[in-house]
Structure 1
C-alpha cells in the first residue's frame, strides 16, 4: 500500500514537472527579465556669454510672417543658466553593427506618427527624432503655404508641398549617419533638422541643456554628439576636466544603474552663430 502511494506521488511530481517545463517552453522569459537596462543622462552648457538669437531676413509672405517675429534657432542658449539647447546625442552604429535590443517600453511608440509642424513660419520642433518604424507627419499650421524638403543620404530625398491646414506623411526605411537639414524653398530662412535611426536610443537637449536616454541595453556603447552650429562636439570640458571626444563620439558603459555624464561645457568659440 505504501509502495503504491509512493509510486503515485512520484508520478504526480513527474507530471507536474512536465507541465512546468511545457509552460517554460510556451512562455519564455521576457526581454525585460533576460536583459539588463540602464539610463544615460547629462547636461550641456555654453561656456561663454549667452548670445542673443540672430534676427532673420524675411523676404516672402512678410505680412503674415513678420508679426510672428521668427529668429534663428541655430544657436539657442538659456540666458539664465547657459543651458545649450538642441545638442543631439544618439547611439552610434557602424554599417556592420546589428540593431541593439529594444526595451519593451518603446513598443508603444514604435509605429506612431512623429509630428514636424510648419508653425509661425518656422519648423517645430527644430530637431525631429524619427525611428525607421515610425511615420513622419508633416503638417502646416500656418495660414500660408509651405514646402518641406529633406535631401537625405540613405533614404529617398523628398520635397513635399504642404498646403494650409493639411498634412503629408513620409516613411523612411534607413537610418541616417547624421542629422539631415530640413528646409522650405518658399521661405528660405526656415531650417530644421531630422535625425532618422533604426533604434530609439537618441535625444536632443532641452532649453536647460538636459538630456536623457532611457532603457539602454547594458554593455559598452558609443554615442555620437552633434550640434548644428558646431558639428561634432570634440573638445569639451566634462565635470571641470578637459576632454577630447574624437569625431564627437563618446564610449559609455551602461549597467543597471543610471549613468550621468554630468555637466559638459562647450567653449563659445566652437560655434558659428
Structure 2
C-alpha cells in the first residue's frame, strides 16, 4: 500500500513539474554591435615561423574585426552574469542536446578556428591541428589548470575543463606567435559571440530580468555603449534587461572607436 501511494505521489510530482516547465515562458536576447566610425583596415600578420607554409596564407590581424560594409564588430562575447547570491536560471530543454557535445578548436592555415570558442563545463574540448605542420596550443585559464599541448600534424586530443572561468581565457601558440584566440568556459549555456556582421543571439532564456556581461579582446569590458542614440554606461560591461516571452531585440549597439584604442 505504501509503495502504491509513493508511486502515485511521484507520478503526481512529475506531472506537476512538467506542467510548470511547460508554463515557463522563454525569450531570446539579440542585438548587433556596430563600430561607430570608419572601419579600421586589418593589417597583415608578420609570419616568422614555418614561412614556406604559413607565409602563403595572407593572414590578417584578428584582435579587432569590423565589417567593411555594415561596420559590424565581430567577436564580442556576451554571457549571463550572476552576482553573489543570485539564483541561476532554469536551463531550457533545447540545450540538453548539446550538453555533452564535443567543441572543436582547430588550427587551420596557421590560425585558430574559431577565433573565439564557447564551452560548457559539461562539454569536451577537441584540440585539433588540421595543418601539415606541427602546432602548439596553450590556454591560460585561472580557475582550471592551464594547458600547453604540442600537436603533431593532423592530430587531435580531448580535454575537459571542470570549472567555469570569469572571463575568456587566452589561447596562444608557442611555435607561431601570431596565432591567438579566446575560450570562454561557463557552466550555463547562456552565452554568445557576435558574428562577422556584429550580430549575437542568446536563445531560450527564462523570461524575466537578467544581467549580462559584454567583453571584447581589444576593448575589455564594454563599459560605454550607445543605445537608441543615448550614451549608456555599463559598469564592468554589465547591463540588465527584462527579457520578455518571445524576443528582446537590443537593436544596433554603437561602440566608440576610443574603446578599442591601443
Q: Is TM-score (shorter-chain normalized) higher than 0.5?
A: yes
Q: TM-score range by the shorter chain?
A: over 0.9
CA deviation profile, 1:198-254 (whole Å, cap 9, x unmatched): 010000011111111000112221101011111111111112111111111000112
TM-score by length of 1: 0.89
Match of 2:167 in 1: 178
Match of 1:101 in 2: 90
Equivalent position to 2:81, from 75, 92, 106: 92
In 2: Cα distance, 1:128 partner to 1:69 partner? 23
Match of 1:24 in 2: 12
Q: Shift of the alpha carbon at 1:92?
A: 1.0
Tell me how large the CA RMSD over aligned residues is.
1.7
Q: Is the 8 A contact 1:87 1:225 kept in 2?
A: yes
Q: How many residues align?
A: 255
TM-score by length of 2: 0.92
CA deviation profile, 1:147-196 (whole Å, cap 9, x unmatched): 10111011110011111111111101111100111000000100000000
Matches within 5 A, 1:1-273: 23-30=11-18, 32-94=21-83, 96-272=85-261
In 1: Cα distance, 2:168 partner to 2:10 partner? 48
Unaligned ranges ≥5, structure 2: 1-6
Which of structure 1's runs of 4+ aligned residues deviate more than 6 A? 19-22
Q: Shift of the alpha carbon at 1:97?
A: 3.8
Q: Secondary structure at the match of 2:149?
A: strand
Give the number of the structure whose alpha-carbon radius of gyration is greater.
1
Unaligned ranges ≥5, structure 1: 1-18
In 2: Cα distance, 1:116 partner to 1:131 partner? 14
